[in-house]
């Protein structure tokens, strides 16, 4: 700040945003209250390009609220939110559409459109908001449904799917338009371990193969640690999920919310080493 030496020229904002470690989401002192119930008290954090932020916290801690703030579905009472280099707090709905074009969101309950088929749900954004030719949209829809292993259900209605299948359709829908940032709201809650692991694998694959930055909200610690400590490796056509090395593990940061404040921030090994009684009850 007071450093005036010319040698290492300070990078401009543009250089930072295009660089290797560009911040994708920045919260700076964000506060929010519903009526007089304070949900977030001056929350600050940053998510870097290609990294994962795993948000933990009890039910009602404000985890989904953070994701809604990033999308601009809610406005903060105070504080500043940057997404992909644009300030979204106080942006108009029209301007927000541009920012949202680069974000995919997996809603807590899926939020699939129940009057549309799986195909129409997954291709919604491309069908409705782009001029992409139909054949190309269909190809992309089939591609992402293949990615989550649901190609045979393409013409079903969401109501004819199981909970886990709906969740995977929601993930497919969020990734169709190739966003650079994906937000997952409890993608594995209420699912069996096998389905959960397959969803975790999708999150890892998107992050490591497509360099999508991600924020994962969950209270399933098993899945949180799995996502944080594994990586996807492309191996001539096949994709394997492997134990990640140390530096890769550093790229996944945990963030624990309690009473509207961040009570822990750090990587998986730091979280495991944590001795705070509240965190311990959460971890056990």
Ligand X SMILES: Nc1ncnc2c1ncn2[C@@H]1O[C@H](COP(=O)(O)OP(=O)(O)OP(=O)(O)O)[C@@H](O)[C@H]1O
How far is it, in rounded angstroms, from Cα 97 to Cα 91? Answer: 10
Say if CB 176 and CB 195 are below 8 A apart.
no
Among other proteins, Mg ion, ligand X, none, the one that 38 touches (CB under a kind-dependent 5 to 8 A) is: none
Say if CB 53 and CB 47 are below 8 A apart.
yes
Which phi and psi (to 5°) does residue 84 adopt? 50, 40
Q: 14, 15, 18, 114: which one contacts other proteins (CB under 8 A)?
A: 114
Q: Does 36 sit near ligand X (CB under 6 A)?
A: no
Q: Does 105 sit near other proteins (CB under 8 A)?
A: yes
Q: Does 109 sit near other proteins (CB under 8 A)?
A: yes
By rule CB under 8 A, what string of x and - marks binding of each residue 128-157 to other proteins? xx----------------------------
Q: Does 22 sit near other proteins (CB under 8 A)?
A: no
Taking the least distance from each CB to Mg ion, the nearer of 64 and 84 is 64
Taking the least distance from each CB to Mg ion, the nearer of 108 and 117 is 108
Q: H or E element: which one contains 41?
A: strand 37-48
Exposure string over 113-141, b if 16+ CB within 10 A, otherwise e: eeeebbbbbbbbbbbeeeebeeeebbebb
Q: 25, 48, 50, 62: which one contacts ligand X (CB under 6 A)?
A: 62
Q: 14, 75, 113, 272: which one contacts other proteins (CB under 8 A)?
A: 113
How far is it, in rounded angstroms, from Cα 32 to Cα 30? Answer: 7
Cross-strand pairs, 60:
none
How far is it, in rounded angstroms, from Cα 234 to Cα 129? Answer: 32
Q: 124, 147, 225, 254: which one contacts other proteins (CB under 8 A)?
A: 124
Residue 21 CB, nearest distance to ligand X (Å)?
A: 28
Residue 134 CB, nearest distance to ligand X (Å)?
A: 37
Residue 27 CB, nearest distance to Mg ion (Å)?
A: 17
How far is it, in rounded angstroms, from Cα 251 to Cα 228? Answer: 8
Q: Which residues contact 87 (CB under 8 A, 6 or more apart)?
A: 80, 81
Among Mg ion, other proteins, ligand X, none, the one that 100 touches (CB under a kind-dependent 5 to 8 A) is: other proteins
Q: Which residues are at the interface with other proteins (CB under 8 A)? A: 68, 71, 73, 93, 97, 100-101, 103, 105, 107-109, 111-114, 124-125, 128-129, 173
């Amino acid at each position: 700040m007071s450093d005036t030496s010319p040698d290492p020229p300070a990078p401009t904002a543009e250089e930072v945003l295009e660089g290797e470690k560009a911040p994708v989401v920045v919260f700076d002192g964000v506060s929010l209250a519903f009526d007089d119930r304070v949900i977030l008290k001056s929350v600050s954090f940053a998510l870097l390009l290609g990294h994962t932020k795993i948000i933990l916290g009890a039910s009602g801690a404000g985890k989904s609220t953070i994701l809604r703030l990033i999308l601009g579905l809610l406005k903060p009472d105070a504080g500043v939110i940057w997404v992909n280099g644009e300030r979204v707090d106080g942006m108009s709905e029209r301007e927000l559409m541009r920012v949202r074009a680069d974000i995919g969101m997996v809603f807590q309950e899926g939020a699939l459109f129940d009057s549309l088929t799986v195909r129409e749900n997954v291709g919604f954004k491309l069908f409705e908001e782009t001029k992409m030719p139909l054949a190309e949209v269909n190809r992309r829809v089939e591609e992402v449904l293949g990615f989550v292993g649901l190609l045979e259900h393409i013409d079903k209605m969401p109501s004819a799917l199981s909970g886990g299948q709906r969740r995977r359709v929601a993930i497919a829908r969020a990734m169709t338009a190739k966003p650079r940032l994906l937000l997952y709201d409890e993608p594995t809650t209420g699912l069996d371990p096998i389905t959960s692991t397959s969803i975790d694998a999708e999150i890892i694959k998107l992050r490591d193969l497509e360099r999508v930055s991600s924020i994962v909200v969950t209270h399933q610690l098993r899945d949180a640690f799995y996502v944080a400590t594994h990586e996807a490796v492309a191996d001539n056509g096949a994709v394997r999920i492997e134990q990640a090395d140390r530096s890769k593990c550093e790229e996944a940061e945990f963030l624990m919310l309690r009473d509207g404040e961040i009570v822990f921030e750090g990587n998986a090994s730091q979280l495991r080493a944590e001795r705070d009684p509240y965190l311990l009850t959460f971890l056990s």
